Amino acid sequence: MANFAGYRRPYPGTQPAHLHPAYVSSIKRAPAKPLVPMPQTLTEVTGPVFGKEAVDTKACDLTRQSSGEPLGERIIVSGRVLDENSRPVPHTLVEIWQANAAGRYMHKRDQHDAPLDPNFPGSGHALTDDEGRYRFVTILPGAYPWGNHYNAWRPCHIHFSLFGPAFATRLVTQMYFPGDPLIPFDPIFNCTADEKARNRLISSFDWENTIPSQALGYRFDIILSGRDATPMEK
Amino acid sequence: MSLQATTSQTVGPYFSIGLTRLKQDNLAGPGVSGERLTIEGRVLDGDGQPVPDALIEIWQANSHGKYAHPEDDQKKPLEEGFTGYGRIPTDDNGRFRFITIKPGAVPGPQGKPQAPHIAVSVFARGLLRRLVTRIYFPDEAANANDFVLGLVEPERRGTLIARKIAGQAGALEWDVILQGLSETVFFDCGL
């Protein structure tokens, strides 16, 4: 088979452990046995490819998914998708979902006593451009209570799902907002040992993309696993 | 100076809002060659309880052993209409089911072909990062020499091999047991 360079393994401490008891749902769901290390093969360095046909170009604006306008504070969330070698990841699918301004998800299992917003289904997607850039128009999601521990509240966040170029680069994460007082108390945010790695999940306020009289901007760059310099097979 | 990959976070309980659009539980459309298979099973937690908020994603080669991806430069045919990708949420009883074709063999380490397999990612509330596993096939002689299966203790290999469902042609069963004595083998292949 052709020689290929695999994708890098994460830097120690920068990814969560599977078991993080403070996040109660992990206790019965995290594997108890150690993972079996394996080399990446052709299976892992390839992965699904989504082209323009898989994308609705209007889906990057979550405030225009209905006939009316959603309630809440309009925001622009944009950034770049790069790999660990600082190269842009072009034409890759980014999927997002989030709660509405009141902190309620449009989902049958979300029983939080806060209003649903018929004009805010809460999902969007986009392909990155040639330079790895993406941009969503949405509303600031609300914080919401959950049952993890006494008086537990999730900080405001947006879920992100990315594929990148390979099975090995798949990433699901959450983006947080700067200055949110709930962040230090959130066991999901805190599941990663490395403080700098955690803090990179917090977007930054973005004047450049703030639209006068219209919407505040937040910037969130996403880094996917990058190619190792050395080919794995000689 | 290199960057570090963004930290993974759980999909949480409400991922269907964002991830249902690309649901794909039938990869074996008209014109796709290969042996039709239905693979079904359950995702179970450490108490044996079904996990109703899990998502399975699969990635596989076509029946010729070719991935629909630019990096696969093997001289084997691609098939229009076969992407090799599936996304299947579990139902209220933790069950999932998808239709596909048996993949052909693809190259593996040491220049040897791998036994036919499907790569699987498992996401769920409670999983802070995805779990990676594989589905292999019963009655497959190549399993005995498969490099990746060979990395697994013999007594745990069975968790990676789908079982035939008696009396139903082309029906296979394969469960994801997240934790416990018969825990599914999960791999560390990077992120």
Contact A42, B64 (CB under 8 A): no
Given A1, A159, A226, which is nearest B111 (Cβ)? A1
Taking contacts as CB-CB distances below 8 angstroms, the residues of chain B near A226 are 2-3, 5
pLDDT at A229: 74
In angstroms, the Cα distances linking A172 to A154, A177, B72 are 17, 17, 25
What homologous superfamily is domain B16-177 in, according to CATH?
A: Aromatic compound dioxygenase (2.60.130.10)
Distance CA A194, CA A136 (A): 28
ipTM of this predicted complex? Answer: 0.97
pLDDT at A1: 46
CA dihedral B182, B114, B108, A223 (to 10 degrees): -50
The residue written with tokens 């910037």 in the block is A219
Taking contacts as CB-CB distances below 8 angstroms, the residues of chain B near A188 are 9-10, 12, 128
pLDDT at A234: 36
Comparing alpha-carbon positions, the chain A residue that sits nearest to B22 is A54
Say whether pLDDT at B154 is over 60.
yes
Given B21, B84, B186, which is nearest A31 (Cβ)? B186
pLDDT at A106: 94
Say whether pLDDT at B81 is over 60.
yes
Distance, first Cα to last Cα, chain A: 10
Nearest to A156 by CA among A135, A183, A124: A183
Domain annotation for chain A: domains and CATH numbers? 56-226 (2.60.130.10)
B183 exposed, middle or buried (CB, 10 Å; 0-12, 13-18, 19+)? Answer: middle
User: Quick check: A218 contacting B, CB < 8 Å?
Assistant: no
Query: How far is C-alpha A175 from the geometric centre of its chain's CA atoms?
Result: 6
The residue written with tokens 């498992």 in the block is B122
Local structure of B135: helix, strand or coil: strand
Taking contacts as CB-CB distances below 8 angstroms, the residues of chain B near A233 are 109, 111
Given A1, A85, A97, which is nearest B15 (Cβ)? A97
- What are the structure tokens assigned to B93, written together? 């009883």
**Cβ distance of B6 and A223 shorter than 8 Å:** yes
pLDDT at B1: 55
The residue written with tokens 């301004």 in the block is A101
pLDDT at A5: 82
Nearest to A47 by CA among A171, A147, A149: A171
Query: How far is C-alpha A77 from the geometric centre of its chain's CA atoms?
Result: 12
Domain residue spans in chain B?
16-177
Q: Average pLDDT in the B179-188 region?
A: 97
Distance CA A222, CA B164 (A): 42
pLDDT at B19: 96
Comparing alpha-carbon positions, the chain B residue that sits nearest to A8 is B190
Question: pTM value?
Answer: 0.97
In angstroms, the Cα distances linking A130 to A81, B97, B152 are 11, 37, 41
* DSSP classification of residue A84: T
Q: Average pLDDT in the B167-189 region?
A: 97
- What are the structure tokens assigned to A117, written together? 């917003």
Query: What phi, psi does B162 have (nearest 5°)?
Result: -65, 150
- What are the structure tokens assigned to A222, written together? 């996403």
pLDDT values of chain A reduced to their tens digit, one per residue, 234 residues: 455 689 999 999 999 999 999 999 999 999 999 999 999 999 999 999 999 999 999 999 999 999 999 999 999 999 999 999 999 999 999 999 999 999 999 999 999 999 999 999 999 999 999 999 999 999 999 999 999 999 999 999 999 999 999 999 999 999 999 999 999 999 999 999 999 999 999 999 999 999 999 999 999 999 999 998 766 553
Say whether pLDDT at B63 is over 90.
yes
Local structure of B18: helix, strand or coil: helix
Query: How far is C-alpha A103 from the geometric centre of its chain's CA atoms?
Result: 18
User: How many residues comprise chain A?
Assistant: 234
> What one-letter code names the amino acid at A3?
N
